[in-house]
Amino acid sequence: MVKILITGGAGFIGSAVVRLAVSRGHEVVNCDALTYAACLANVAPVAESDLYAFEQVDIRDREALDAVFQKHSPDAVMHLAAESHVDRSIDGPADFIETNITGTFNMLEASRSYWQQKGKPADFRFHHISTDEVFGSLGKEGMFTEDTPYDPRSPYSASKASSDHLVRAWHETYGLPVVLTNCSNNYGPYHFPEKLVPVVIINALAGKPIPIYGKGDNVRDWLFVEDHADALLLALTQGEVGRSYNIGGENERTNLELVETILSILDDVRPKAEGSYKDQITFVEDRPGHDQRYAIDPTRIRDELGWRPSVTVEEGLERTVRWYLDNEDWWQALLDRKGVGVRLGTKA
Ligand SMILES: NC(=O)c1ccc[n+]([C@@H]2O[C@H](COP(=O)([O-])OP(=O)(O)OC[C@H]3O[C@@H](n4cnc5c(N)ncnc54)[C@H](O)[C@@H]3O)[C@@H](O)[C@H]2O)c1
């Protein structure tokens, strides 16, 4: 068992990692600034555990990070805290530079200082969680491998690419024992209601238009968040130092296919009085610079660490839809947060 300092543990993916890590007997220190995207209810299932601690800390504040390392003496870091919404990065890139780049720099320096003070233990890990968006956009063919050249195209993906480069540099230059992962689009329970999957479910139930950017033909490789959390703990504990692993769901779908699948599930489990939820689909102006296709080649993590996703996108979406139906209090409480329910990212 390891003691893991997890940044961004009150967000969507971070909270899934926190819940899974505690359930497996790891100690967790959840460090989160509690931005608009955070929700402590996401970690309520483990909040009373002796294995769990929370620190409200901003990764832009180096001194605060040093204090957390001294107080908790972690064996490993999983760094997920980030500004994560591409549309918000188009309207206001500054926060993305400060949190995703400077914040990662602070995390690396705080980790390096702590690791050196401890005598550079070889089993310390700095696990950086990144995105497939750093690789740019694919045409109809091909897949991203770990060797695909970086080609980020949005302020968000450029900031994540920068952070990946910093993490590799801290390994090469200072010997910090790092592991990197780049994953595809996640979906699942506790997904903040500004992202596609929850927007579709919530707008459908409210009888509102369901917005699809452009023609809905952008392709993503959909990864169930609980599968991702499992892969992350595996990469942390079994991954080779200095190596990166791509994590995908082996579930490529166009946005339109994904939305239609969600709405078919809703038509089955919560039918409308009349007609189909698909009647609410509305095509809207595309996102500027919208990447056409992402696809992950998962060969490395499958062959070297023995990991594969446990669900198809249809199974994962059914679990997700049922979770949203059963947890309306959770998402209703988030609908009045700034920027939720309005179209962002058209200012370019
Ligand atoms: N969601 C996806 O599909 C996806 C895909 C690939 C990679 N990722 C990466 O995974 C990580 C987690 O993504 P997510 O979807 O859970 O994000 P999220 O937006 O749901 O959560 C981010 C969390 O980080 C915290 N945070 C933000 N700025 C902070 C700061 N300055 N200091 C401390 N905490 C701060 C927020 O309060 C929030 O709890 C991110 O690094 C993201 O780039 C996400």
- Does ligand 1 have an atom closer than 6 angstroms to the CB of 180? no
Give the residues across from 12 on adjacent strands: none
- Does ligand 1 have an atom closer than 6 angstroms to the CB of 9? no
The residues annotated as belonging to the active site are 132-133, 156
- Does ligand 1 have an atom closer than 6 angstroms to the CB of 80? yes
Q: Is the pLDDT of residue 252 over 70?
A: yes
Question: 7, 12, 226: which to mutate for ligand 1, most atoms within 8 A of CB?
Answer: 12
Q: Which residues of 119-151 are buried (b: 16+ CB within 10 A; e: fewer)?
A: eeeeebbbbbbbbbbbbbbbeeeebbebebeee
User: Residue 344 is encoded by which pair of tokens?
Assistant: 């962002």
The pLDDT of 124-132, averaged and rounded, is 98
Q: Is the pLDDT of residue 341 over 90?
A: no
Q: Is the pLDDT of residue 241 over 70?
A: yes
Atom of ligand 1 nearest to the CA of 85: 19
Q: How confident is the model at residue 288 (pLDDT cuts 50, 70, 90)?
A: confident
DSSP 3-state of 55: strand
Q: pLDDT tens for residues 1-49? A: 999 999 999 999 999 999 999 999 999 999 999 999 999 999 999 999 9
Atom of ligand 1 nearest to the CA of 191: 20
Contact (CB, 8 A) for 108 and 36: no
339 or 150: which leads in pLDDT: 150
Ligand 1 centroid to Cα of residue 13, in Å, is: 7
Atom of ligand 1 nearest to the CA of 34: 37
Q: pLDDT tens for residues 57-80? A: 999 999 999 999 999 999 999 999
Q: How many Cα atoms sit within 13 Å of 218 on the Cβ side?
A: 19
Query: In this predicted structure, what is the pLDDT of residue 346?
Result: 78
Number of Cβ within a 10 Å radius of residue 253: 20
Query: In this predicted structure, what is the pLDDT of residue 97?
Result: 97
Query: In this predicted structure, what is the pLDDT of residue 345?
Result: 80
Question: 13, 30, 190, 330: which to mutate for ligand 1, most atoms within 8 A of CB?
Answer: 13
Query: In this predicted structure, what is the pLDDT of residue 348?
Result: 62
Query: In this predicted structure, what is the pLDDT of residue 10?
Result: 98
* Nearest Cα to Cα of residue 179 among 228, 131, 232, 112: 232
Go through the domains of the chain in sequence order and give each one's CATH number.
Answer: 3-186+225-249+295-310 (3.40.50.720)
- Does ligand 1 have an atom closer than 6 angstroms to the CB of 99? yes
Q: Is the pLDDT of residue 313 over 90?
A: yes
Ligand 1 centroid to Cα of residue 278, in Å, is: 30
Question: 84, 232, 253: which to mutate for ligand 1, most atoms within 8 A of CB?
Answer: 84
Ligand 1 centroid to Cα of residue 249, in Å, is: 19
Ligand 1 centroid to Cα of residue 309, in Å, is: 21
Q: How confident is the model at residue 343 (pLDDT cuts 50, 70, 90)?
A: confident
Query: In this predicted structure, what is the pLDDT of residue 290?
Result: 84
Q: pLDDT tens for residues 81-97? A: 999 988 889 989 999 99
Distances (CA, A) of 98 to 95, 126, 155, 163: 5, 20, 12, 11
- Does ligand 1 have an atom closer than 6 angstroms to the CB of 40? no
Number of Cβ within a 10 Å radius of residue 94: 10
Q: Which residues, including other chains, have CB under 8 Å from residue 89's CB and lie 6 or more apart?
A: 83, 96, 154, 155, 156, 159, 345
Ligand 1 centroid to Cα of residue 269, in Å, is: 31
Contact (CB, 8 A) for 133 and 157: yes
- Counting residues of the chain whose pLDDT is more than 70, the rounded percentage is 99
User: Residue 216 is encoded by which pair of tokens?
Assistant: 């809905």
Residue at token pair 């045409």: 139
- Does ligand 1 have an atom closer than 6 angstroms to the CB of 35? yes
Q: How confident is the model at residue 340 (pLDDT cuts 50, 70, 90)?
A: confident
Summary mean pLDDT of the chain: 96
Residue at token pair 């007609």: 275
Q: Is the pLDDT of residue 256 over 70?
A: yes
